[in-house]
Amino acid sequence: MPLTSRPLRKLGFLTIGLFDETDPGQGHESTLQLIELGERLGFDSAWVRHRHLQYGISSPIAVLAAATQRTRRIELGTAVTPLGWENPLRLAEDLATVDVLSGGRFNPGISVGPPMFYDRVKDALYPDTADAEDFGYGRVQRLLDLVRGKSATDSSGREGFEVFSDRVQPHSPGLERRMWYGGGSLRSARWAGEHGMNLLTSSVVKAEGPEGEPVDFAAIQLSHIRAFRAVHPDGEDARVSQGLVVIPTDSASPEQRARYERYAAERLPRIVAPQGPARMMFAPDLVGTSEVIAERLHAHAAFREVDEVAFALPFTFEHEDYEQVLTDIALKLAPALGWQAGA
C-alpha cells in the first residue's frame, strides 16, 4: 500500500461528549475517560466539540481544564468554539488559564459567524446589544491580539493593595502558536493563513462554485489547504489538521459492525449534493477494516496534503463503541497511515 506524500505525524480524535439530561455527570465522565484512554493508546491530541442548548458539552474549556489534571502528555483542543457566543477578553483569560494548567498542551480551535439559530437565542445571549454585535473576523483578531499579549487597557501598576496588569493574565507565551481556525470556505482558509493561525478542516466544506457545476469534496478541501498555505508565513510547513469521520471495525463485534454500517448508510444521502442555502458538502463516513479505510484515505486528495488528523467520533455511539473505535484507530489504522506512537 502506498504511503501518503505526507506520512501521518500527529494522531488525534474529536468527540462531541453527549450526555443524558437526567444524568449529565456520567456523559462528562465518559468524555474524560476517553481522553485518558487516548493518552494510554498514544494519541497525540484529543479534541472536544462545542454544543450550546443541546445535550453535548457546552463548556469544553471547563471539561478540558479537568482533563489537564487527569493526563500528562496528550494535547487538548476545542473543535471548535464559536466566537459568536463568547467575549474575546474573557475567553482569552480562560484559554490562557487552561494552557497554564496543561503545561502548554492546549490547542484552542475557534470559528466566527452568528450563533446558530440566532433569532431564537439573541434575546438571552445579547439582550441589550443583539443588533450591534459584530460576528465577523474582527472578533477573532481581538482574541488573537489578547492571547498574544497586546494591551487590554491603558493602565497598569499598583492601586492601593492590589496590582493590575495591562494585558490578559495569566499570559501563556506559546499559546498563540497553537491557535486554530475551523474553516470550511476558501475565504476562511485564506484569512486564517494571512493571520498566522493553524487550520482545522472537517467533514464539511462549502461548495462555492456555480450551482449545477460538478462538486467533489476532496478537491474542494484540497483547494482550501493550498490557499491557506499559499498565504501563511510558514508556507508549506503551516499546520493543517483534517477531521474526517472514520469507524474501523477490526475488533468490532458483528452487532457493532452492523450498527456502524447502518449509521453511515443513514447519513449517506447528504453527500450526494450540496445541502441548504449555504451549499454545504459533507464527506462520507469511512466504515470498514483499517486496511480498507487506509486505502480510501490514501486516495483522498486532501488527506495526502496533511500530516495531522483529528478523526471525528460519530455522535450517537455508546462508550464501549468509542473505546473499540479509538483502540482500532491507534493500533491498526494509524500505523497503516505511517504514524508511530511517540515519534
Supply the pLDDT for residue 210.
73
- pLDDT attached to residue 214: 65
pTM: 0.96
Q: Block means of pLDDT (10 residues each) for the chain, length 343 residues?
A: 70 96 97 98 97 95 98 98 98 98 98 96 97 96 98 93 96 97 97 98 90 84 97 98 98 98 94 88 97 97 97 96 98 97 79
- Delineate the domains of the chain, giving CATH numbers in brackets: 10-155+162-336 (3.20.20.30)
Q: What pLDDT is stored for residue 2 in this prediction?
A: 44
Q: Write down the pLDDT at residue 1.
A: 41
pLDDT at residue 88 in the model: 98
**Which grid coordinates belong to 131?**
443588533
Given the C-alpha cell 443583539, which residue does it identify?
A: 130
Whether a cis peptide bond, with omega within 30° of 0, leads into 88 is no
Please give the angle made by the CA atoms of 37, 16 and 99, to the nearest 5 degrees: 65
- Answer yes or no: are the C-beta atoms of 340 and 10 closer than 8 Å: no
pLDDT of res. 59: 97
Q: Using CA atoms, how far apart are residues 330 and 43, in angstroms rounded to an integer? A: 7
| Buried-state track 42-65, b at ≥16 Cβ within 10 A, e below 16 | bbbbbbbbbbbeeebbeebbebbb
> How many H helices and E strands in the chain?
11, 14
Q: What is the pLDDT of residue 272?
A: 82
Closest by CA to 148, choosing from 137, 140, 156, is 140
H or E segment to which residue 25 belongs: helix 24-41
pLDDT for residue 273: 86
